[in-house]
Amino acid sequence: MKSAGFTLLEVIVAITIAVILASVVGVNVLGLPQKHRRDAAKMQIEAFKTALALYQDDNGVFPSARQGLAALVEPSAVAPVPTSFRDGGYLESLSLPADPWGRPYAYIVPGPGGKPFDIVCYGADGEEGGTGVDADIAAWD
pLDDT confidence tier of residue 23, bands split at 50, 70 and 90 = low
pTM of this prediction?
A: 0.76
CB 75 within 8 A of CB 100: no
- 114-131 pLDDT, tens digit per residue, is 999 999 999 999 999 999
CB-hemisphere CA count at 13 Å for 100? 19
Taken in order of first residue, the domains within the chain and their CATH numbers are 8-138 (3.30.700.10)
Q: What is the pLDDT of residues 33-92, one digit of tens each?
A: 888 999 999 999 999 999 999 999 999 999 999 999 999 999 999 999 999 999 999 998
Looking at 3-12, 115-124, 132-141, which range is the least confident one? 3-12
